[in-house]
Structure 1
């Protein structure tokens, strides 16, 4: 049974993010990750069954923490509009502050095999649910169109935010991602709100 907690677990996760961002997932050897985490190669297997398990665990941990932060932040504001703004802001801020993680989530995860993508998709559902809850609140309050298809609108919101980050990563992060919060918010609010 592998361990899923402790200082070494987190050190290995952080090392994996850095090594995968630098070398790509397929070239991120366990030896390189162990060296970066300052642990023996075999220690990796006390915490992860395989390199695939490490990638899935990395995404699960980072996504769960991120969603918790977003939930906390949107609870601090009153209106559904402010909640949407905070969601966009937090998404961009998280990846602007951790460019290695941005490379891993926007590039490397998408090149993984189908089984990994499926498990990652299951973790992503918690974020999708958060977006759907926000849309439902806007509809219930009469601020968003009553005829919105919640699932389709969630795909549009997530897709817009995700593609904005992917473009930023592909352009080697040469501009301020946070400068795009307001334009993306404006675009999405115009698609959502009642006229």
Structure 2
């Protein structure tokens, strides 16, 4: 008679997989993908290293899943901001502020998502991540054009430029060297940086100086 997995066993396996994912997320948030070692993840999760490979085919598959998990959290926050009350320009400004402020508050994870050198499987997820943001901004720009608060333009191209501009503007401030210096400077203030990013992006979309 063939072996049939019991419901209890399925739940135990699901719980173990979830624990591995959570511990991997913790490691990445603390030191990036480069410093998320399988031995450390196994230790935190309370499992043998071989157990990890029963749930994930490879380290790259594990990291790709963590990347999807982390980016979905950020995309959800931007989606909420774009769904808030107000005209399109106000909603776009809120979404851009949400993106930048969350990145600067969690610089290690943000650097890992935006710029850290990663394996090809994770890089594929990064491209999907950027496209998801572009899709959200494209829809908002189209709504702004219909409202008349954004001039007629190629919404798809503009949304891609928007994602590129905000991501690139954060690469320097999020780099490990820069964040290490900022952490030692109690007077460091991110507000001017965030305001500058938003001003540039909104002015680029609307042509209106702020």
1:27 is displaced (CA, Å) by 5.3
| 141, 155, 159: which one aligns with 2:160 | 155
1:14 is displaced (CA, Å) by 4.1
Which residue of 1 is the match for residue 194 of structure 2?
181
Which residue of 1 is the match for residue 203 of structure 2?
190
Which ranges of structure 2 fall in alignment gaps of 5 or more residues?
Answer: 1-9, 183-187
- Choose 21-30 or 82-91, whichever is displaced more: 21-30
Q: Distance in 1 between matches of 2:35 and 2:197?
A: 35
1:115 is displaced (CA, Å) by 4.1
Q: Distance in 2 between matches of 1:137 and 1:49?
A: 43
Q: RMSD over aligned Cα, in angstroms?
A: 2.8
Does the aligned pair in 1 maintain the 2:71–2:113 contact within 8 Å?
Answer: no
Deviations along 1:142-164, whole A, 9 cap, x unmatched? 11121x22222112211121112
Structure 1 residues 95 and 194 mapped into 2: Cα distance closer, same or farther (>3 Å)? closer
1:78 has 2:81 as partner? no
1:24 is displaced (CA, Å) by 5.5
Does the aligned pair in 2 maintain the 1:92–1:181 contact within 8 Å?
Answer: yes
1:79 is displaced (CA, Å) by 1.0
Which residue of 2 is the match for residue 35 of structure 1?
43
Q: Which gives a bigger RCO, structure 1 or 2 (Cα 8 Å, sep 6+)? A: 1
Structure 1 residues 25 and 61 mapped into 2: Cα distance closer, same or farther (>3 Å)? closer
- Choose 120-129 or 135-144, whichever is displaced more: 120-129
* 1:18-167 equivalent positions in 2, closer than 5 A: 18-20=26-28, 25-26=33-34, 28-108=36-116, 111-146=117-152, 148-167=153-172
Larger CA Rg, structure 1 vs 2: 2
Structure 1 residues 32 and 127 mapped into 2: Cα distance closer, same or farther (>3 Å)? same
Does the aligned pair in 1 maintain the 2:101–2:194 contact within 8 Å?
Answer: no
Does the aligned pair in 1 maintain the 2:27–2:36 contact within 8 Å?
Answer: yes
Structure 1 residues 162 and 46 mapped into 2: Cα distance closer, same or farther (>3 Å)? same
Which ranges of structure 1 fall in alignment gaps of 5 or more residues?
Answer: none
Does the aligned pair in 2 maintain the 1:92–1:178 contact within 8 Å?
Answer: no
What is the TM-score when the length of structure 2 is the normalising length?
0.75
